[in-house]
Every structure is written in structure tokens, then in C-alpha cells.
Chain A
Amino acid sequence: ETGVTQTPRHLVMGMTNKKSLKCEQHLGHNAMYWYKQSAKKPLELMFVYSLEERVENNSVPSRFSPECPNSSHLFLHLHTLQPEDSALYLCASSQETHVGPGELFFGEGSRLTVL
């Protein structure tokens, strides 16, 4: 496989469920990101991991818990979500250098519906 892959593509969960979104990048990048895309809103940055260390947590509620076990994998653990958390969750990766972040590459997204 190439690029950035996300699973599952679609997820429906109740407010009391616990589930996880998975992202894997095959580009050899050193930074990974979670974004949230809601209808009629710009993409919102949730978390950034650089060299497996979380460097950004954009005031995201604790019901979202990221995990980055290595530079190729990123998870978003979900628990006790709210209906307003329904959105498209996008994973991305880039190669950071001393001059800054490089070009961003996105996965196809995980469409989450919270009932």
C-alpha cells in the first residue's frame, strides 16, 4: 500500500461505546496529524505528533485520546462521544525539516456518526 491509509472508512457508534480510528502512513514521514472536518467549517487541527511525540493538542476534549506508537501509525481512541462529534476525521503526514513542515498528505478519512 502507498500513501496514507485510514480505517475504518465509516463508523457508527453510540454515545457509550469505545472505538478507535487507525491511520498508517507508508511515506517515511516523521510527523502525523489528526484533523476534524465538520460540515460548513474549515478543517480543525486536533493533534500533531512529531517524531512520535505529541507537540500539539488543540484544546480537544478528553473524550478523544490520540496514540502514536511509532512514526508510521497513529490512533484516535474515542469514548463517550457526543452527537456533535459526528464528522469526517482526517489523518495526514508530512516530513518535517529544519526549515519547517513539509507538504501534507492526507488519508481518505473516517466518517464518524455518533447516535
Chain B
Amino acid sequence: KQEVTQIPAALSVPEGENLVLNCSFTDSAIYNLQWFRQDPGKGLTSLLLIQSSQREQTSGRLNASLDKSSGRSTLYIAASQPGDSATYLCAGWVLGGKLIFGQGTELSVKP
């Protein structure tokens, strides 16, 4: 059964730090990977989608990479700001068209 692990489960950093969130799949057979942000009590906002032919995607201060051989993805956030505080979830598309979610990393950026 495909499972997704996100490390760390929670992270608290001072404003301005660069940080890395990790996501790994028990089965490396994923083809698309999507990172989301979720604010408390809200829905999920799509941040980045890495499609099967890609290895990374960038949007502003965010960069996500995917290593299919190891089933690992990282989300890099540069120059973190208090507004980045949220839960970050990764999700991978596996064979059969299912999207499998991790439990998320709860990020707190202190001013």
C-alpha cells in the first residue's frame, strides 16, 4: 500500500530563514506530484505541480523537486515570511489515477 511521509511534522522558524520540507513515498512509482498549502479551517491551495516529464517547478520563493528513483520530493521556501505559516501537504499521483496525501508539515514563521 502506497504511503506518504512528510518530515518534519511541525517546524517553527524565525522570519527570513530558508527552509526545506520533505516528502517521501513508500512506492517510488508516482508520476505527478503536487504540493498544497492549507490555512486553518480552509481548503487546500495548489502551490506547485510537477508533472511526469519534469523534475522540478518554481514559483516565486518556492521550489519543488521530485526524484522518482527514490520516491522523494522536497519543497524549498526561500526567505520565509510570517504569511507562509500554514500546513503544507504533498500528494502523489500513483498508478490507477489515485492521489495519495501525506499528513502535512505544520509551519510557523515567527516575526
Contact = CB atoms under 8 A, between A and B. Distances in A.
Q: Are A and B bound to each other? A: yes
Contacts of B45: 106
The contact size tier of chain A is 20 to 34
B43 to A, nearest CB: 4
Interface of A: 4, 6, 40-43, 45, 48, 55-56, 88, 90, 92, 96, 99-101, 103-109, 111
Describe B's contact surface by its main secondary structure.
strand
A111 B98 contact: no
Interface stretch (B10-18, B66-74, B99-107): B99-107
Interface residues of B, number: 24
Contact of B43 (A55, A99, A108): A108
A105 B34 CA distance: 11
A42 B103 contact: yes
A96 B101 CA distance: 19
B111 interface: no
A108 B42 contact: yes
Contacts of A106: 36, 43-46
Contacts of B49: 103
Contacts of B34: 103-104
